[in-house]
């Protein structure tokens, strides 16, 4: 499985910045997990291949450019863009984003080929298919309804925590799995901001270090993501100091293969 954390911004030469402001992972060039930077960072080839987007929760950094992405493709979509999310998240997207005020309700609109956007409700705790991938969604502990994901392509399996603080069910599912290859987990705030991390339901390096004790570590890669851009260097240093084997910070723009 090829996974790219899409860059959020680029420098004047077009080189991706390391700071992550928006969240969007691209799997095998065709399935997106969240859509923060989806309209900004895809190549033209990738843009033509993405047909499925899984939205873990409706926070702006995860959906910021989803409306623009569908708008850009509006006249050319020959099949609807499928947005996979829990029923709760679909309702929030309809109420707060695609509400005719912030942006058009694309799920009600058609182009010359037919509907342009289709919601696909995802079950909780039950496997479902997205393109060639098998996916399981697990509720995690964030301030709005949010799911973590375990994604498998038959060869390899990767878990995405999405945004979360201390949680239980996610680890139960991961610990039951044979052969998990990578865990992409959030580390949002530096340790000195533990209070803010707690109320906004995110990890700091210290709380992430505690949390990872719940994981029966089998040698998988652990990639820290969602580091708040303003505090990136501080968070990176604190993650390094944890000395957890195979823990590293995921680089936007780089393609990882598992």
Q: Which residues bind Zn ion (CB under 5 A)?
A: 59, 61, 163
- Quick one: 124 or 241, whose CB is closer to Zn ion? 124
Q: Minimum CB separation from Zn ion for residue 23, in Å? A: 6
Instruction: Indicate the residue among 64 and 81 with the shorter CB distance to Zn ion.
Output: 64
Task: Please identify which residue in the block is written with the tokens 């060639």.
Answer: 132
Nearer to Zn ion, 80 or 139 (CB): 139
Residue 157 DSSP code: E
Q: How far is the CB of 95 from Zn ion (least distance, A)?
A: 17
Q: Which residues, 6+ apart, have CB-to-CB distance to 230 below 8 Å?
A: none
Q: Token pair 């694309």 is at which residue?
A: 106
Closer CB to Zn ion, 17 or 141, in the complex: 141
CB of 140 to Zn ion, least distance (A): 10
Residue 151, beta-bridge partner list:
135, 158
Q: Which is nearer to Zn ion, 61 or 211 (CB)?
A: 61
**What is the DSSP annotation of 158-181?**
EEE--S-BS-SHHHHHHHH-S---
**Distance from C-alpha of 208 to C-alpha of 232, rounded to nearest angstrom:** 15
Sequence-separated (6 or more) residues with CB below 8 Å from residue 242? 205, 208, 209
Please report which helix (H) or strand (E) contains residue 186, including its range. Answer: strand 182-186
Query: At its nearest, how many Å lie between Zn ion and the CB of residue 15?
Result: 24
Measured from the CB of residue 79, what is the shortest distance to Zn ion in angstroms?
A: 29
CB atoms under 10 Å from CB of 100, counted, come to 8
């Amino acid at each position: 499985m090829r996974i790219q954390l899409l860059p959020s911004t680029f420098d004047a030469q077009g080189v991706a910045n390391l700071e992550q402001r928006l969240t969007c992972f691209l799997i095998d060039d065709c399935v997106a997990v969240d859509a923060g930077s989806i309209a900004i960072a895809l190549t033209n080839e990738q843009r033509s291949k993405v047909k499925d987007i899984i939205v873990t929760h409706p926070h702006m950094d995860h959906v910021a450019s989803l409306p623009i992405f569908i708008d850009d493709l509006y006249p050319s979509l020959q099949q609807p863009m499928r947005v996979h999310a829990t029923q709760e998240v679909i309702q929030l997207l309809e109420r707060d984003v695609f509400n005719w005020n912030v942006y058009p309700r694309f799920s009600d609109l058609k182009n010359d080929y037919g509907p342009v956007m289709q919601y696909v409700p995802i079950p909780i705790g039950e496997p479902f298919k997205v393109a060639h991938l098998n996916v399981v969604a697990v509720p995690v502990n964030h301030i709005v309804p949010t799911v973590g994901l375990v994604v498998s392509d038959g060869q390899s399996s990767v878990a995405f925590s999405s945004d979360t603080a201390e949680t239980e069910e996610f680890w139960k599912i991961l610990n039951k799995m044979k052969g998990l290859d990578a865990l992409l987990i959030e580390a949002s705030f530096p340790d000195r901001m533990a209070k803010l991390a707690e109320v906004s339901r995110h990890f700091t390096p210290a709380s992430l270090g505690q949390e990872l004790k719940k994981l029966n570590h089998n040698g998988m890669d652990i990639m820290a993501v969602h580091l708040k851009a303003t505090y990136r260097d501080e968070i990176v240093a604190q993650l390094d100091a944890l000395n957890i084997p195979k823990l590293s910070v995921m680089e936007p723009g780089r393609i990882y293969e598992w």
